[in-house]
Amino acid sequence: MSTAWIDLVDGALRRALPGRCAFCLAPGSDGHPWCEACFASLPWNLPACPCCAELQPGQLAGRLCGVCLRLPPAYDRARVPLRYEGEVAGLVRRFKFHASPRAGTVLLDLLMAGLSAEALAWPAAVVPVPLHPRRARERGFDQAGWLARRLARRSGRPLIEAERRRDTRSQRGLDRRERRANLRGAFRVEAALPSRVVLVDDVMTTGATLDALAVACRRAGAERVEVWAVARTPLGKH
């Protein structure tokens, strides 16, 4: 999809949507699709491990979790501002399974609101987590690509596509090492990547898929890799 078409569709969407909170329908705050009260009550993913974005006890704020110390992922950092719970989970489901542009716009705005100006300026390229072609045909909608295209457009960064070579079996019931083995070689990036890339997805569950994609990105030339997702599945619900 061309950037001009994205701008046209998103502009029409903004004009069509009323300036109301997506959660309670009160007037929005400062042009955002939420009010201050609902924004404050969302399930923010804080404090979290700076590497994998898993929620941490307060006394460990800012420190790597034990899992990342024992088995660090191929990406350097994960920035995931929200937890996949409550109103956020409802938005994600409407976006992912019903292709709701309203839900997608709110989720993208929440992701950007949860990132600092320094973080938003960091990447040199944006790489969405790709669906396998069979999954893409079945679902008819690529949520990570939708988010990544708009994020790249807003930030002025190039979008670089990766290829999902294998439709891997379910990760359910596998531990972290088994998940990594299941996804080994699942992705390929043919284009030469710049030194700093960000991987984009809607929800980060265990991080295994993003880890495998980060390996492929490093093989394509990336030296630093970050993960950005809207929401993190809480530990115990993977």
Q: Is 204 helix (H, G, I), strand (E, B) or coil?
A: strand
Answer whether residue 7 is part of any domain: no
- Which of 3, 8, 7, 22 is closest to 92 using CA atoms? 22
Residue 4 inside a domain? The answer is no
For residue 18, is it within any domain?
no
Judge whether 25 and 87 are in contact, CB under 8 Å: no
User: Lowest-pLDDT range, 10-19, 21-30, 116-125, 177-186?
Assistant: 10-19
CATH code for the domain in which residue 137 is found: 3.40.50.2020
> Would you say residue 169 lies in a domain?
yes
Give residue-wise pLDDT tens across range 38-72. 999 999 999 999 999 999 877 667 789 998 999 89
35 CB contacts (<8 Å, ≥6 apart)? 21, 23, 24, 26, 27, 28, 29
* Three-class secondary structure of residue 224 per DSSP: strand
What's the whole-number mean pLDDT along residues 7-20?
Answer: 56
In a domain, residue 29? The reply is no
User: What is the DSSP pairing of strand 196-204 with strand 125-128?
Assistant: parallel
In a domain, 37, yes or no: no
pLDDT tens for residues 138-177? 778 899 999 999 999 999 999 999 999 876 655 566 666 7
71: Cβ contacts below 8 Å, ≥ 6 apart: 176, 177
Q: Is residue 36 part of a domain?
A: no
For 200, the domain range is 42-232
Our count of domains for the chain comes to 1
What is the DSSP secondary structure assignment for residue 196, as one 8-state letter?
E
Q: Answer whether residue 25 is part of any domain.
A: no
